[in-house]
Structure 1
Amino acid sequence: MAGNAVGIVPQALRPRDTIAFISPSSRLNRIFPVRVYRAKDALEKLGFRVKIFFDERPTRTFHEAVLERCSEIHNAFLDPEVKAIICTIGGLSANELLPHLDYDLVRANPKIFCGYSDITLLHHAFFTQAGLQTFYGPAAITQLGEFPKPLDFTMNHFQGVLQNPGKPIGALPRSIEWTEEFCDWGGDEEAVRPRTLQPSKGWQWLRQGKATGRLMGGCLPSMLQLAGSKYFPSYRGCILFLENPEGEVSNGPLPFEFTRSLMADIVNLGILGEVTGLVIGRPYKYGDEAKLEEFRQMVLDQCHGTDFPILFNVDIGHTDPLLTIPINAMASLDSEMDEFAILEAGVAERSGK
């Protein structure tokens, strides 16, 4: 049985609802405006309305800038028109916000909240401090701003999870194509070039078995930033999902030795002794089979002494296309059926307007 109780399940998206864009970590709206407005246009073509919460005046002190980023989050949650909040991108500074956020405000105004990478810190904080269940899924600049439009797999799952209240999500789909091709969003030619998709190698069971538990996890280094803090959730009885970001350069992987060290931190925290299953997202920039095999073996080595099922190379996090994962939803792994399933609805029924 999962250690985390059922949290606040946000209400479903409906046609013509308003979706907010916020930038709680990296502030790239003015650097890549075309990506932001392409994302806005993509959602508007689906019938949604979009509000952008972004105000950055360079004369502010560091503390004033942090409070402004918090204010944008608060305003998005408070806005009665806004029914969902999508982060524009991740970054390295979401942790600066955690002591300054009003979690009572979030709890009183629960909404769909979606993002990935270091948005992991906000997912964990909103759950542990406000009880809100959030979504590990696409960001505006990276996925919704894709040229010439968002990838169908990403958008179909995003809408399916967020617009079907009361209905268990069920078995998760897997992409038949994917890409890790890097595009320079600031380059004139690169900004208007579709990326090349290649056949997917599929999900792989590194260890067979069955498991149920509530989903908890995120971006590996971001998750570990919270260890020992009040924002760190319980992993007892959960299915843990982990994924790797880029390294020091956007076009390269997180170094293998660093990833192995971070996985050892997971071991030392006792988390692998508490979880019922493990899901690993497709490692960013590990497309070469030799690198993938080294990565797979590292995961098995770090899981020595455990017996839970391990599913590898899943469409989660820093990969395209990607799934929308409801954090803290009850899930199951079943290697015999070759299935990773969400056993609950991601969103609740909504009454009124």
Structure 2
Amino acid sequence: MLKDKIIKPKRIKIGDTVGIFTPSTPANVLFKEKYLHAISELKRIGFNVIEGDLTKKSVKQGYRSGNPKERAQEFMDLIENQNVDFLMSTIGGYNSSSLIPYLDFDIIKKNRKIITGYSDITSLHMAILTQSNLSTFYGPAVVPTFGEWPHAFSESVESFLTLGTSIHLRNYKQPFFEKWSNHFRNAFTDEWKSVERKYEFNSGYKIISSGVIEAPIIIANLNTLCSLAGTSYFPDFCDNILLIEEECADFAEEERSLTQLKLMGVFENIKGLIVSKPEFLNNKGADFSYEELIMEVVGKRKYPIIYNYDCGHTHPMHTLPQMINIRLEALQNNVNITFLESAVDI
């Protein structure tokens, strides 16, 4: 995968239409009230909404919204719908990878639409990146981002809009979030709107290894990324910066996943590593920290490594585009991430 082959999606603007697809967990059915609130938030911000066929019909097959072909068809219909300007996933789940064999990557490439989502959507990000060279957005999803009560996370929305609407972002320095939250509020009850969200002071990014590097970035959920190992959809990380994030960081599972990447040579070939805040930590009784576990597995490196970043399952979250050149500066307890180019094109 060569940087000069990367295709940028078309920029968007307020007033455009978002197409909603549900590639895995049917959150629109399971958390219907929160989903409907999220749709109203998208409209309040200024977007029009078109739901995919499965999403609109509130189809549910237990843990999924439909069979793989149906879910892929919903996605492709939105890609080809000329009234849809960009696509956003309802939520993640566990089975977005099932769509991959039924996607038409040439059509996805031709239409150049922003596709945004995170977590399990990593499967689609990596497949589209490796098969069409289109840069997708590791960014907001409908229910977790726009379903927040009483309003969508303003910082998350601003990050997405900044990257999605501007073709003049050279030397844009990403802002730092002063607070963050991993407060779980049950969406199966009215707790998601009746209990006020708790926030914590953001203590800052932690430098594990100092350095400065300019390189393209690839963003992935660690668990989902490892599930693609051995397939043609697992990207070439050589000379790129890798950002990994996790939902529930069970130390035993994290050690296994990180070690898998290590044994595959990923940490030998990248130019930098960013690890985001996990939503929940489970140290399994260990007397060492998550940061120390990362250091143990990854080992000493000459490239910059930072921890405690904000892109993933905690809120708010930064949006990051796949394979866009950034400058990662980690020096003397000071971390800066600067975009060296825009994420979109006309």
TM-score, with normalisation over the residues of structure 1? Answer: 0.90
Query: Which residue number corresponds to residue 99 of structure 1?
Result: 101
**Quick check: 1:261 aligned with 2:256?**
yes
- How far, CA to CA, are the matches of 2:61 and 2:198 in structure 1? 41
Structure 1 residues 154-185: Cα deviation after superposition (integer angstroms, max 9, x where no partner): 11111111111243362211211111110101
**Quick check: 1:285 aligned with 2:280?**
yes
Tell me by how many angstroms 1:21 deviates. Answer: 1.1
Query: Which residue number corresponds to residue 11 of structure 1?
Result: 10
What secondary structure does 1:180 align onto?
coil
Query: Which residue number corresponds to residue 249 of structure 1?
Result: none
The answer on whether the counterparts of 1:243 and 1:317 sit within 8 Å (CA) in structure 2 is: yes
What secondary structure does 1:173 align onto?
coil
Tell me by how many angstroms 1:287 deviates. Answer: 10
The answer on whether the counterparts of 1:178 and 1:320 sit within 8 Å (CA) in structure 2 is: yes
Query: Which residue number corresponds to residue 320 of structure 1?
Result: 315
Structure 1 residues 118-172: Cα deviation after superposition (integer angstroms, max 9, x where no partner): 1001000011111110010111111111011112211111111111124336221
- How far, CA to CA, are the matches of 1:136 and 1:71 in structure 2? 22
The answer on whether the counterparts of 2:41 and 2:151 sit within 8 Å (CA) in structure 1 is: yes
- Closer, same or farther: CA 186–169 of 1 in aligned 2, 3 Å: farther
- Closer, same or farther: CA 318–224 of 1 in aligned 2, 3 Å: same
User: How high is the sequence identity, in percent, across the aligned residues?
Assistant: 26
Q: Which of residues 62, 87, 90 in structure 2 aligns to 1:85?
A: 87
**Quick check: 1:226 aligned with 2:228?**
yes
Tell me by how many angstroms 1:283 deviates. Answer: 1.8
Kindly provide the amino acid, as one letter, of the partner of residue 324 in structure 1: T
Query: Which residue number corresponds to residue 128 of structure 1?
Result: 130
- How far, CA to CA, are the matches of 1:59 and 1:327 in structure 2? 31
Query: Which residue number corresponds to residue 335 of structure 1?
Result: 330
The answer on whether the counterparts of 1:43 and 1:49 sit within 8 Å (CA) in structure 2 is: yes
Structure 1, gaps ≥5 residues long:
247-253
Kindly provide the amino acid, as one letter, of the partner of residue 240 in structure 2: C
- Closer, same or farther: CA 327–293 of 1 in aligned 2, 3 Å: farther
Tell me by how many angstroms 1:286 deviates. Answer: 3.5
- How far, CA to CA, are the matches of 2:113 and 2:194 in structure 1? 33
Query: Which residue number corresponds to residue 291 of structure 2?
Result: 296
Query: Which residue number corresponds to residue 23 of structure 1?
Result: 22
The answer on whether the counterparts of 1:154 and 1:321 sit within 8 Å (CA) in structure 2 is: yes
The answer on whether the counterparts of 1:174 and 1:314 sit within 8 Å (CA) in structure 2 is: no
Structure 1 residues 296-316: Cα deviation after superposition (integer angstroms, max 9, x where no partner): 111111122421111110001
- Closer, same or farther: CA 167–285 of 1 in aligned 2, 3 Å: same
Structure 2, gaps ≥5 residues long:
none
Query: Which residue number corresponds to residue 45 of structure 1?
Result: 44
Structure 1 residues 223-279: Cα deviation after superposition (integer angstroms, max 9, x where no partner): 111111111111010000001112xxxxxxx31111011100010010001001000
The answer on whether the counterparts of 1:124 and 1:231 sit within 8 Å (CA) in structure 2 is: yes
TM-score, with normalisation over the residues of structure 2? Answer: 0.92
- Closer, same or farther: CA 84–63 of 1 in aligned 2, 3 Å: closer
- Closer, same or farther: CA 169–149 of 1 in aligned 2, 3 Å: farther
